[in-house]
Amino acid sequence: MTTLIIQDGDKKREINYSELSDDFIEKRIEEYETKHGKIFQEFYNGFDCGEASMDELTDLLDWESLVEERKARMEKAVYERT
């Protein structure tokens, strides 16, 4: 189970990725790919924490969690079929 907690001042947002639908995860990943013009691994490889905005850092964390959740579900599906 992947959970991301984003704290911005007094605001706190918690996302439990295991509760999201497959369709929602795919849609969000596609939105990030469109927004940044690349797939996650390309974005991650070029990411510079020292130069990134808070928005870019939040995108990275959310996007990475979405990709990891999708990967875990795919691995689980393969395992359950065997």
Specify the residue for token string 């918690």.
14
Average pLDDT value for residue range 3-19: 81
How many Å is the maximal CA-CA distance in the chain? Answer: 47
Distance (Å, whole) CA 15 – CA 2: 8
Beta strands in the chain (DSSP E): 3-8, 11-16
- With beta carbons less than 8 A apart as the criterion, state whether 42 and 35 touch: no
Q: Which of 19-28, 39-48, 72-81 shows the lowest per-residue confidence on average (mean pLDDT)?
A: 72-81
Summarised one tens digit per residue, pLDDT across range 14-35 is: 889 999 999 999 999 999 999 9
Distance (Å, whole) CA 44 – CA 34: 15
